[in-house]
Structure 1
Amino acid sequence: MARTSSKTNSKTHKNETILRQPAEVKYRQELDYLASIDKGAKPFSWKLSPHMVRTFLLGSTPSQKLDCSIEPKWYGDSAIAERAIVTLASDRGLLLIGDPGTGKSWLAELLAAAICDNSTHVVQGTAGTTEDQIKYSWNVAMVISAGQSQESLIPSPIMTAMQNGTIGRFEELTRCTSDVQDALISILSEKYISIPELKSDNVVFAQPGFNTIATANSRDRGVNDLSSALKRRFNFVHMPVITNKKQEKEIILFRTQELMKRHGFEVDIPPTLLDVLIQTFADLREASNSATSDDQRLESALSTAEQIGVLEDAILHSRYFGNTSLEPAILARSLVGTLVRRLPEDVSVINQFWHATVERRSEEEKGEWKDFLQGGKEAMGLIR
């Protein structure tokens, strides 16, 4: 790996105590190494060339002949990653849209970390998000004592990104009301924010390298649809639900092992149990697709992220209250406990699924499926 300065090492050591490190801290050594060997052209003030950003996301290949292997961090179609990177080098913003749990926020964070070494300029969209959170607000105490000035102005994460020429992120854009969404239009098109309260120095212009990554939940369409004017300022990149079992397994293993490292231990996940989890979710999705009403579907999105949550819950339960090794019955209890959210609808849906699909697989494939079947029945018995 490329050497890092003592200042960087000190910063990295300090951030080891953070519960969840930003991508630019977590993958500091990889980013520094890629920057040290990067000979490609860089748009604006980018830290890495588009080719190296792609390598950071998808991992290195033998043909690149790198001294240090770069592990993949995002598992998906390379065309999606390339379109996202190219969009951020253009004049348009990037909108990642897809079902919950398809990795939109993770991809946005990795892109921002690789491009500008800072993924923390984030606005979280909610029904209560205001225009001030997108543009700027004021330090009330300073305004009362000395009036409105540059010193009393509090820039939003998006304004800070504009001033620094970095990437601003906007999570769950469609959760915000239409008037709040429209505050982005002038930022994306004109690349500046006016501050009419100030008499001078009252315009903040975006520096080269500024762009915006927004995410939107495709299940939220109709909540607060984007206006046509705002849609024109974005390139849409649709994030598909992962259905390839090999790819899904890689994602689950990667993310679960990372989560376990937070707890200070490593875990070996039995391949047969992981297959049971992945197959169960595949069967649940098939049942959901064939259902004729919402009452016959689980409220959960049945995404890869849900599987990671189920597996993490089961591993921790086994670690603290079991025999340390992951067991089929505990995995089943975690799955039922995670997916049942509505009472009694979800209980009815998963009960029917368990006594039909899971019971059939238990009879046909036996092995881990028998204990998995029994663990699920016991879990449902507790929540009826």
Structure 2
Amino acid sequence: MSDLLRAPAEIKYAEELDWLESVDDNPKPFAWRLSPKMLRLFILGSERADGLDREISQKWFGDRSIVERAIVTLASDRGLLLIGDPGTGKSWLAELLAAAISRNSTLVVQGTAGTTEDHIKYSWNVSMVIAKGQSRESMIPSPIMTAMEAGSIGRFEELTRSTSDVQDALISILSEKYISVPELDSDGIVFAKPGFSVIATANSRDRGVNDLSSALKRRFNFVRIPVVTNKKSEAEIVRFRTEELLRRHQIELDVPPTLLDVLLRSFGDLRAAAASAGSDDEKLESALSTAEQIGVLEDAVLHSNFFGERELTARTLASSLVGSLARREPEDLAILNKYLHGVVEPRSKDEGGDWPEFLDGGRDAIATLS
């Protein structure tokens, strides 16, 4: 794992998955590596009532019913569509589900304006076709076709970013569970094996980019991933991701709970301001998601480790927040400046603590960018 910049979930948690599989005596759908109960436990973590001999860490933070509905969908013949705002953990949940069910989460198609039917069906090795003609050996299967042949989970990221032609091609795969290869005289149909399904993700802010057709919607069960609003849950997510970063970089640096609270409250304040804004010009361009919150903290931690005194400070945290969220000039800078003067300045006088240093760091960062 140390040789990988980012190990997929099935490698990162291989030992844990092996152990869960060895003690799992519950019924499993198709060729699933884990039963639905163990799959839920792998994602949400173990509790004392589970009666296991070891603790299983929580990897995705959200409502239990969301995970259960996702698992039930994948055990049916319908695809699973995880939809929600940016940074709500859709892709991470999809990866965990695929890793635990198939022990392979890398069969992924990334939806973009340039995604074509070849990316979800097949293409050809041109040199082999010229030398030997079209055959199964010269065919290059897509990740989705590979998943079909293996009875595994295929993933489709940002489905609404792909064009209608690509979406239409996915309809037949989800309906018929096979791909026809007309170029081959014999062996021209690739059938899906039991266990095959597709987990797609869609950004709710991309509505109107390439809307899904009614036919494609009927092939999916929709599971909406809400924005995390619970302060305790959000703190756990941020702490979990930051600890992963520290381990990856072998950084010994503490994140004081008081600074984590400053970060959480700041994002909460900015979200409330965005919700009450009268126009888009009065909102930050940032979605203010949990993922962006993690990015702000990671930036501050790395800066403190490489260029500071190996101690996270409120000033560095404020500088990272302004640098990460100020994407438009002067609009975003004006919004952040208003927040500092209207909210942080009074709070620094009333509460003290880290807020005065946070205020100074934010002001200096805005002055540098202005």
Q: Check whether TM > 0.5.
A: yes
Deviation at 1:16, TM superposition (A): 2.7
Instruction: Please say if residues 60 and 70 of structure 1, whose CA atoms lie closer than 8 Å, have aligned partners that are also in contact.
Output: yes
Unaligned 5+ runs, structure 1: 1-14
Instruction: Please say if residues 61 and 233 of structure 2, whose CA atoms lie closer than 8 Å, have aligned partners that are also in contact.
Output: yes
SS, match of residue 109 in structure 1: helix
Aligned runs of 1:4-23 on 2, under 5 Å? 15-23=1-9
| Over 2 Å off, 4+ runs | none
Identity, % of aligned pairs?
A: 69
Could you report, residue by residue, the CA deviation over 1:276-309 in whole angstroms, capped at 9, with x for unpaired residues? Answer: 0000000000000000111110111101101100
Q: Please say if 1:144 is aligned against 2:130.
A: yes
Match of 2:47 in 1: 61
Q: Please say if 1:368 is aligned against 2:354.
A: yes
Deviation at 1:345, TM superposition (A): 1.5
CA–CA separation in structure 1 for the residues paired with 2:79 and 2:49: 32
Q: Please say if 1:276 is aligned against 2:281.
A: no
Deviation at 1:143, TM superposition (A): 1.2
Which of 133, 138, 161 is residue 119 of structure 2 equivalent to? 133
Match of 2:92 in 1: 106
Instruction: Please say if residues 253 and 310 of structure 2, whose CA atoms lie closer than 8 Å, have aligned partners that are also in contact.
Output: no
Deviation at 1:135, TM superposition (A): 0.5
SS, match of residue 29 in structure 1: helix
Match of 1:244 in 2: 230
Match of 2:249 in 1: 263
Match of 1:115 in 2: 101
Match of 1:377 in 2: 363
Which of 25, 39, 42 is residue 39 of structure 1 equivalent to? 25
Equivalences, count: 370
Match of 1:216 in 2: 202
Instruction: Please say if residues 194 and 202 of structure 1, whose CA atoms lie closer than 8 Å, have aligned partners that are also in contact.
Output: yes
CA–CA separation in structure 2 for the residues paired with 1:182 and 1:342: 37
TM-score (norm 1): 0.95
SS, match of residue 97 in structure 1: strand
CA–CA separation in structure 2 for the residues paired with 1:303 and 1:37: 37
Which of 275, 288, 296 is residue 310 of structure 1 equivalent to? 296
Match of 2:63 in 1: 77
Which of 158, 169, 175 is residue 183 of structure 1 equivalent to? 169
- Equivalent residue letter for 1:159: M
Match of 2:73 in 1: 87
Match of 1:7 in 2: none
Instruction: Please say if residues 170 and 213 of structure 1, whose CA atoms lie closer than 8 Å, have aligned partners that are also in contact.
Output: yes
TM-score (norm 2): 0.99
41-50 vs 252-261, greater mean Cα deviation: 252-261
SS, match of residue 223 in structure 2: strand
Match of 2:182 in 1: 196
Deviation at 1:54, TM superposition (A): 0.3
SS, match of residue 55 in structure 2: coil
- Equivalent residue letter for 1:84: A
Instruction: Please say if residues 113 and 162 of structure 2, whose CA atoms lie closer than 8 Å, have aligned partners that are also in contact.
Output: yes
Instruction: Provide the alpha-carbon RMSD of the alignment.
Output: 0.8
